[in-house]
Amino acid sequence: MPRHRLTIVMQNRTLLCSILLLCAATALSGQKRMPQEQAPKNGTKATLVRRANLYVQPDEGADQVAIVTPGREMVIAERSGHWLRVFANIDAPESRKADEPVLEQGQEVIPISGWMLDKGIIDTNTPHGDAILFGEAVSAEDAASESHPPPGAALEARLLYRRVVEMFPQSPLIGAAMWHAADIRWQLQKADAAALPSAHEKENYLREQMDEDEMKKIEKYFPHTRWSDFAAYDRIDNKLCGDWQGSEKCPEKEAQIYLKYVEDHPDSPRSPEALYKAAWRMAAAADMWTADNDGHRAQEDRGHAADIAGQLEAKYPQSDFAARAASLIYKVQQGIAIYGSDRE
């Protein structure tokens, strides 16, 4: 997983109370009301925080129907002592809308029915169920960022975050859960796209694009929050060039995209990083112009890089990116190439 995701995970682990307060304030900010899902008619919506066996009868000696993993959708239809009869979706794939098969009218996924022990199950009536699911999702996402993550940890985290949204629509954790779920999906799609031959195309529209639907919903329902700031920053990925292929147009264009982000999201936690990336790209373009024997354009872009770095230092002096920008400009002033250094 990218470094910024691990940082956010660790922040969530230690600052869950702060997130609760932040999201509670968001609920009062006048954002658009999210559409609410209808409650199931045949029972209570639920999910799991552990792997559980599903049996044909309320007996651990009975035949096993399936294994239900954390975060999967369930409906509790009946209770008998410490046993529950449930309907569970165990194989609903997480996919891009563009890749989903066209189903015949009336065709739908049928949940599997069976019995499981009433253990590790969170339903819509569980006290603090939203916080429990969110905490489990953070732990799973943390595990997914390890160098050797457990199989399916990222998907498990995404599903748990989604259950927070669907099962507890009044929770102050909704915005955070929506963004984490969307970001996990985004990063998985980004990794898949990077492995395709089209990843080396210069023009962004020739590359595999990440699905922006969930990110746009966050920006719609949680405007002017850190979650919408994060969503907008992720969406920049779809606008960037693949391989620059020696074209100065690419880094210059990308620098403008990052500057526009800062203009639109001045209070975003991502703005210092965006300014640094803009400055770095201008410095890189300057090195490319130098290699093409255009000293005038090179000097212009070096000036732009210095101006952006100065803006970063003035607006976000405590950010690590301000120090990185200072190092960048020092190299530029010393004539040390920061892109294509093998040309020195």
pLDDT value at residue 109: 58
Instruction: Answer whether residue 324 shows pLDDT above 90.
Output: yes
Query: Which pLDDT belongs to residue 341?
Result: 55
Task: Give percent above pLDDT 70 in the chain.
Answer: 84
Q: Which residues are registered as beta bridge partners of 53?
A: 67
Under a CB-based contact definition with an 8 Å cutoff, are residues 273 and 321 in contact? yes
Residue 107 has pLDDT above 60, yes or no: no
pLDDT tens column, 124-167: 999 999 999 999 999 999 999 999 999 999 999 999 999 999 99
Query: In this predicted model, what pLDDT tens digit does every residue of 234-248 receive, in sequence order?
Result: 999 999 999 999 999
pLDDT at 111: 86
Q: What is the pLDDT of residues 51-83, one digit of tens each?
A: 999 999 999 999 999 999 999 999 999 999 999
Q: For 290-301, write each residue's pLDDT tens digit.
A: 999 999 999 999
pLDDT tens for 211-227 read: 999 999 999 999 999 99
All structural domains of the chain with their residue ranges: 244-344
Ramachandran category for residue 223: left, alpha or beta (phi over 0 → left; psi -120 to 50 → alpha): beta
Burial status of residue 111 (CB atoms within 10 A of its CB: 0-12, 13-18, 19 or more): middle
